[in-house]
A and B are shown apart, each in its own frame.
Chain A
């Protein structure tokens, strides 16, 4: 399984959209129905699953799946 699919499988646990149907331009709040609690819990799970450390200041910038995926991949590469 690719890292991107693993990422989308985690996203799918928090919404009613199947991983295969999650596209990178989807917005967490508006398109996938994430609440603030969902989003922050999801980010915590990303940290634990991919063993990365998110900068809390950067989190407010993330609106779409692509932005979160890009951040996760960058941090994973740096780790």
Chain B
């Protein structure tokens, strides 16, 4: 018999965005994975269908929303849909990318429907593979990478008799464990205390915008409240542009070495770079909050069960200008480590608590920047494919819930990619250029002179 489950906090985050922005488009996630090789599409289809059986999260469906807009999830036993093949090989790579981008904009509308589409594709320049389009409530980017690798392991097993991939953890079992943990009263009380203590200690957060203090000033005028500390979010024009910047392998290595030598994680170094930029463009503001996404994958089961586990928490730090770069980095690390321990908490409850305490107006926020550090590349990690050229690409869903969302990932040649997704209603490419330029100047000045104060770094870059 079908079992119905409530959504986890991570799933609820996406579900709430769908409700708030009134479109499922904000919850789309799409990627193409391909190889420069002839593929046996009949076999690939069989492997994709097998993947639907192995990876339970691909079979999740949601019930019709109840009166409060809440839905339940269940996992169907079998997915019997055909897997279509689309031939785009007559196009240029840019035209094929453009077409797949249109597919990524498509929405899954309806209740009790499949929320995962896989299309096999013949691409230009001899690339062949598959395009996956899913609802983010089913899966996150880490989950997709695991799925792509598993699928290709199935393919190489049947094609080249390589080892059959190891069993994946059962999605439903991991989901039940997550929900059980979320319902643990002692755990909940500890997590709530952690987040409440932060507000007790620091009071109401203060908005900081990529474009400087004028944005908060505008919000204050609009709401007729000169002490307002939150700014309005864009609800109507969600169109998003993407601007990528590439950091060469040598400077990337310098950042990685700095992290290794100082036992600092890359996420925390990046957070320091962003927060220092925000401080710089907001007249030295010391109280800065950035939303940081955490993958919440630690155990073997969490890694291989799929699902949407990534969740964002506010990383709030108050760092004075006379704090040296290294101490500031450790301060962020200390805050982040404590957040990790309490990352089972539903971030919607943090927001709710702030609204209760500070009467924050509806549809306002304390953050303008969101960060995901994604160390896992979309690469088919398979010995049979090692000498074959690969082409993978994420496609934006075209509707941003966030003003600026930065995804930092590593490239195959040892560099780093900084992918800025920004709402065009308020931001331009030039804003991203400034942010990236100064963020790099801040980081490289800081790692060259870690004893230098944040104030001096801000003045010198």
Contacts and interface: CB of A to CB of B under 8 A. Distances in A.
A36 B187 contact: no
A53 B191 CA distance: 12
Given A13-B301, A36-B337, A41 B184 contact: no
A42 B190 CA distance: 15
Interface stretch (B129-137, B198-206, B292-300, B357-365): B292-300
Contacts of B336: 36
Given A48-B181, A48-B186, A48-B187, A41 B338 contact: no
Contact of A56 (B186, B294, B333, B341): B341
A24 B41 CA distance: 50
B265 interface: yes
Given A43-B341, A44-B341, A44-B344, A37 B187 contact: no
Interface in A1-41: 13-14, 16, 29, 35-41
Contact of A41 (B186, B263, B265, B340): B340
Contacts of A48: 181, 184, 186-187
Given A43-B341, A47-B190, A35 B299 contact: no
Interface in B304-355: 333, 336-338, 340-344
Given A13-B300, A14-B298, A40 B186 contact: no
Contacts of B295: 37
Contact of A37 (B184, B300, B340, B344): B340
A2 B340 CA distance: 28
Contacts of B187: 44, 47-48
Given A35-B265, A36-B265, A41 B300 contact: no
Contacts, number: 51
Interface string A32-75: 00011111111110011001010010010000000000000000
A36 B351 CA distance: 25
A48 B344 CA distance: 12
Interface residues on B, range: 20 to 34
Contacts of B184: 48
Contact of B294 (A37, A44, A53): A37
A52 to B, nearest CB: 10
A43 B344 CA distance: 13
Contacts of A37: 294-296, 298, 340, 343
B450 to A, nearest CB: 19
Contacts of B186: 48, 51
Contacts of B265: 35-36
A13 B174 CA distance: 13
Interface string B255-285: 0000000010100000000000000000000
A49 B340 CA distance: 18
A48 B177 CA distance: 12
Contact of B298 (A16, A42, A59): A42
Contacts of B337: 36, 40, 59
A20 to B, nearest CB: 16
Nearest to A56: B338
Contacts of B263: 29
A26 B295 CA distance: 26
A43 B190 CA distance: 13
A25 to B, nearest CB: 19
Given A13-B301, A41-B298, 16 more contacts: A14-B299, A16-B300, A35-B265, A35-B298, A37-B340, A40-B340, A40-B341, A40-B343, A41-B296, A41-B343, A44-B187, A44-B341, A44-B342, A48-B181, A48-B187, A56-B338
16 contacts: A13-B301, A14-B298, A16-B300, A29-B263, A37-B294, A37-B296, A37-B340, A37-B343, A40-B338, A40-B343, A41-B296, A41-B343, A42-B298, A43-B341, A48-B181, A53-B190
**Which 3 residue pairs of A and B lie closest in terms of their CB atoms, listed nearest first?**
A40-B340, A13-B299, A40-B341
